[in-house]
């Protein structure tokens, strides 16, 4: 409902913002109505809201800063990921954002949860100038029942001012940038200014969960998760574009969530109440669940192209390759309503290998799992982050989520190793990238083959088969898998020129070795041995 004079104070409680007109906790229909009234975007022929984000079509990672509060400074992984912002400048910036929001003719607030497990969830209040951003947050996070909204007091507040320009001289952000995403763990406030890309809202809270949960003995993870009919939980780690959303949306398995989860000794739980799927070149045949969810009222489509009749063109990348669809998880037909499940039986680490070296699937030892988790190798896909070129770039993002880790990577790596050991999970490395050659020469892995490999891994068929050890990384590759040609399984056999494969594999080895130097002093001997094998 829209807040009247006597409820505005409650709608803005804990935010430090004062305003006269506040639309608080509107439903999807109310938010879409306001968004259309305000000219914030258009509707597709199926009723999905289409928002165009302007110059920012991905996360502005260089504009993310963390307040260097004395209470937390010794525990933060400072550097390129977590750039320091003086507490006084954070305070000035926050005051400017609050003043800006308070000067607007109307605001939208949403009260939401992050974390399906009540033991570990946090309360989040978003204050924004745009109805469609409020709808994005409502789709993305967990929506409390109406009876739990009365007296709602947030643990964390997001002050969202996308049209406001930051001032580097005053606010302390990046020189010559009018964009600033600033977070204070001590004050429990996030300020976002100068970017309309909605993913900043989602990922700011993921960063918060990555801060809070390790101290509670819970591993926060950049992964999707689903569960089979036998109750077997599977996790899918990976960066954007590697297949987390696609591969976890399996009609034969119930979806827990598509991107962010926690793993405790009790089990796995989703942080969110929605999905944020990439939809560039989305195929109804290959991804029917995501397709259907993207073609209905209540969904938010970000930077997706449509014609005058509202018909979508998912092939068109005129705005970005990073086109997105944000929808409540219940838009997927087969989900886990509680967002919680048992501890995982299988852990899958996804990579999009642009070099065409890694096998489509390999079984990892516990030491190799730690090694590849800390390495976080993939190829960043154009458009996921601002400033990337058109070709995929090989990158290492520790824990498959470095931009969202406020603590040192070893904290998360050690927790993963301990959980795998205690619960006996089997770990797999899956390459959804290139085969038969590097990017530009080879071709992308067949999604049909990837799905067949995953089914065999998750139902236990693969573990009982024969494996061979490839010589460059010591990976265990299955010799045969039903429905997958044998020449696909060993990547060297898929190349026309074996010598060229060997050269490329040695080059990738060197990249792994150089990247892992950062962690050499922080891991035990078994992981060091896995690293040495990979670099041999």
Q: Tens of pLDDT along 139-196?
A: 999 999 999 999 999 999 999 999 999 999 999 999 999 999 999 999 999 999 999 9
| Predicted confidence (pLDDT) per residue in 326-372, tens digit | 999 999 999 999 999 999 999 999 999 988 999 999 999 999 999 99
The pLDDT of 30-39, averaged and rounded, is 98
- Can you list the alpha helix ranges (DSSP code H) found in 174-234? 199-212
Dihedral, 29, 35, 37, 41 alpha carbons, nearest 10: -120
- What is this structure's pTM? 0.93
Query: Which residues have a catalytic role annotated?
Result: 59, 203, 222, 240, 244-245, 259, 324
Cβ-contact 154, 111 below 8 angstroms: yes
Rounded to 5 degrees, φ, ψ at 35 are -60, -40
Can you tell me the distance from the alpha carbon of 280 to that of 302, in angstroms, rounded to the nearest whole number? 11
Residues of the chain with pLDDT > 90, as a percent, come to 85
pLDDT in tens, 344-353: 999 999 999 9
Please provide residue 113's backbone torsions phi and psi, each rounded to the nearest 5 degrees: -105, 150
Question: Which ranges constitute the DSSP H helices of 459-521?
Answer: 486-489, 491-494, 498-516
Q: Judge whether residue 243 has pLDDT over 90.
A: no
Averaged pLDDT score across all residues of the chain:
93
* Neighbour count for residue 307 (Cβ, 10 Å): 11
- Please give the domain boundaries of the chain with CATH numbers for all domains: 2-39+60-196 (3.40.449.10), 219-275+338-535 (3.90.228.20)
- For 355, the token pair is 């070099």
Strand partners, 42: 50
Residues in CB range of 445: below 8 A, 6 or more apart: 360, 431, 432, 433, 434, 435
Do 135 and 35 touch, CB atoms closer than 8 A?
yes
Cα–Cα dist 275/244, whole Å: 11
Could you read off the pLDDT of 432-484 as tens digits, one per residue?
999 999 888 899 999 999 999 999 999 999 998 999 999 999 999 999 998 89
Q: What confidence tier does 536 reach under pLDDT thresholds 50, 70, 90?
A: low
């Amino acid at each position: 409902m829209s807040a009247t004079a006597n409820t505005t104070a409650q709608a803005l409680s804990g935010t430090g913002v004062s305003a006269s007109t506040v639309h608080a906790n509107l439903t999807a229909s109310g938010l879409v109505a306001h968004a259309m009234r305000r000219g914030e975007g258009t509707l597709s022929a199926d009723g999905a809201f289409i928002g165009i984000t302007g110059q920012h079509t991905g996360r502005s990672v260089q504009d993310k800063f963390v307040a260097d509060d004395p209470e937390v400074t010794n525990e933060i992984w400072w550097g390129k990921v977590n750039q320091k912002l003086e507490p006084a400048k954070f305070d000035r910036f926050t005051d400017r954002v609050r003043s800006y929001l308070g000067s607007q003719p109307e605001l939208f607030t949403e009260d939401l949860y992050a974390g399906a497990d009540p033991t570990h969830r946090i309360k989040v209040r978003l204050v924004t100038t745009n109805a469609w951003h409020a709808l994005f947050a409502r789709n993305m996070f967990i929506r409390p029942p109406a009876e739990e909204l009365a007296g709602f007091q947030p643990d964390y507040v997001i002050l969202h001012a996308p049209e406001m320009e930051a001032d580097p001289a005053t606010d302390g952000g990046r020189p010559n940038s009018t964009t600033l995403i600033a977070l204070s763990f001590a004050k429990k406030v996030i300020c976002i200014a100068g970017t309309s890309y909605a993913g900043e809202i989602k990922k700011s809270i993921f960063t918060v969960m990555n801060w809070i949960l390790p101290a509670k003995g819970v591993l926060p993870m950049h992964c999707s998760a689903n569960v089979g009919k036998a109750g077997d939980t599977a996790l899918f780690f990976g960066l954007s574009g590697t297949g987390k959303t696609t591969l976890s949306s399996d009609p034969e398995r119930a979806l827990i969530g598509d991107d962010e989860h926690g793993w405790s000794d009790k089990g796995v739980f989703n942080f969110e109440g929605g999905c944020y799927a990439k939809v560039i070149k989305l195929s109804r045949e290959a991804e029917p669940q995501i397709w259907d969810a993207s073609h209905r009222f209540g969904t938010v489509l970000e930077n997706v192209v449509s014609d005058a009749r509202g018909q979508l063109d998912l092939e068109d990348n005129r705005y970005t390759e990073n086109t997105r669809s944000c929808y409540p998880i219940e838009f997927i037909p087969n989900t886990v309503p509680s967002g919680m499940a048992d501890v995982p039986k299988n852990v899958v680490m996804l990579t999009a290998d642009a070099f065409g070296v890694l096998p489509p699937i390999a079984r990892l030892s516990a030491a190799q799992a730690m090694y590849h988790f800390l390495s976080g190798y993939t190829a960043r896909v154009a458009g996921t982050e601002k400033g990337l070129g058109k070709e995929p770039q090989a990158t290492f993002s520790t824990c498959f989520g470095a931009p969202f880790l406020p603590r040192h990577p070893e904290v998360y790596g050690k927790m993963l190793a301990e959980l795998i050991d205690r619960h006996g999970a089997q770990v797999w490395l899956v390459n959804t990238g290139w085969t038969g050659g590097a990017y530009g020469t080879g071709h992308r892995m067949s999604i049909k083959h990837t799905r067949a490999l995953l089914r065999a891994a998750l139902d236990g068929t693969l573990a009982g088969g024969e494996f061979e050890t490839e010589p460059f990384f010591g990976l265990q590759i299955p010799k045969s898998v039903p429905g997958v040609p044998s020449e696909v399984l060993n990547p060297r056999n898929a190349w026309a020129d074996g010598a060229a494969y060997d050269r490329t594999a040695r080059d990738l080895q060197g990249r792994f070795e150089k990247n892992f130097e950062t962690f050499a002093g922080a891991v035990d001997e078994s992981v060091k041995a896995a690293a040495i094998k990979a670099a041999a």
